[in-house]
Chains A and B, each alone.
Chain A
Amino acid sequence: MTPVLAATASEQAELITFIVLAPLSVVTAIGMVLSRNAIYSALLLVVNFFCLAGFYVLLEAQFVAAVQVIVYAGAIMVLFLFVLMLLGVESQESVRETIRGQRPAAVLLTLGLLVAIVAALLAGVFDTAPASLAAANQGGNVQAVGRLLFTHYTFAFETAGVLLVVAAVGALVLGKRQP
């Protein structure tokens, strides 16, 4: 087995994984938006988050993929489901439009946005030369990200910690019943 053949085999695996995960992520996202039941929306979003974690692995971002599964699919979606159960699921969302013609306008504007982004992609605004993270990931992705986080981004890291504490205290104050 030569290295060239091994590289093509891994590329083939990447292609197959992408072909499986990309339609699944789009379908679950559309299902989340269209589902009448909010619980179904939340569960479809969990599947979507797992698909994204798969893409992160394909893009050599193993650490972010693990964080995606633990933080998003684990913590944040459990919080969503918890609040959904706490508030009680409203069985039927009002089908009536509050503003006349809002939904067609929303779909039209979204399509316009998509056309603009795709045009930018096709025009080559972004430099998308295929490159490799092999050099940056020397010694493991987690180690490399950690080194960057605790040298170049130390201040941002500490600020993120403060932000999380403020959010936790804020949620406690909000959740407390006023006497």
Chain B
Amino acid sequence: MRVGPDAYLLLSAILFGIGVAGVLIRRNAIVVFMCIELMLNAVNLSFITFSKTNGALDGQVLAFFVMVVAAAEVVVGLGILVVIFRKRSSTSVDDVNLLKG
């Protein structure tokens, strides 16, 4: 018995769903960031599974670029979080309400 691509795609969907639920439920901005990383990784798993089903390496190259963009996003995002923390002394997403109407 072998592990088919469907198993990996299902696992990827479950991990993505957990990430979505985390973004919607959690208040702490850093944990929300981690959930976004989880979603990016779930999509990477799909990319690499499809790379295998297609017999081509383009999916792996795309996953590599997703990692590069994720690294850049984390650096800027955490920088913004540190600035917000300096102004408000909190990392809760509810405290960032300056633009609220």
Q: A residues engaging B (CB < 8 A)?
A: 11-12, 14-15, 18, 22, 25-26, 29-30, 32-33, 38, 41-42, 45, 48-49, 52, 55-56, 58-61, 63-64, 67-68, 71-72, 75-76, 79-80, 83-84, 86-87, 90, 93-94, 98, 102-103, 105-107, 109-111, 113-114, 117-118, 121, 126-133, 135-137, 141, 144-145, 148-149, 153, 156, 160, 163-164, 166-168, 170-171, 174-175
Contacts and interface: CB of A to CB of B under 8 A. Distances in A.
30 contacts: A14-B3, A29-B15, A38-B30, A38-B31, A45-B37, A55-B8, A56-B45, A61-B51, A61-B52, A71-B67, A76-B37, A79-B78, A83-B78, A90-B92, A93-B27, A94-B27, A102-B24, A106-B21, A106-B24, A107-B25, A117-B13, A117-B16, A121-B10, A130-B53, A133-B51, A136-B55, A148-B61, A160-B69, A170-B76, A174-B76
Q: SS class of chain B's interface: helix, strand, loop or mixed?
A: helix
Interface of B: 1-11, 13-22, 24-28, 30-31, 33-35, 37-38, 41, 44-45, 48-58, 60-61, 63-65, 67-76, 78-83, 85, 90-92, 94
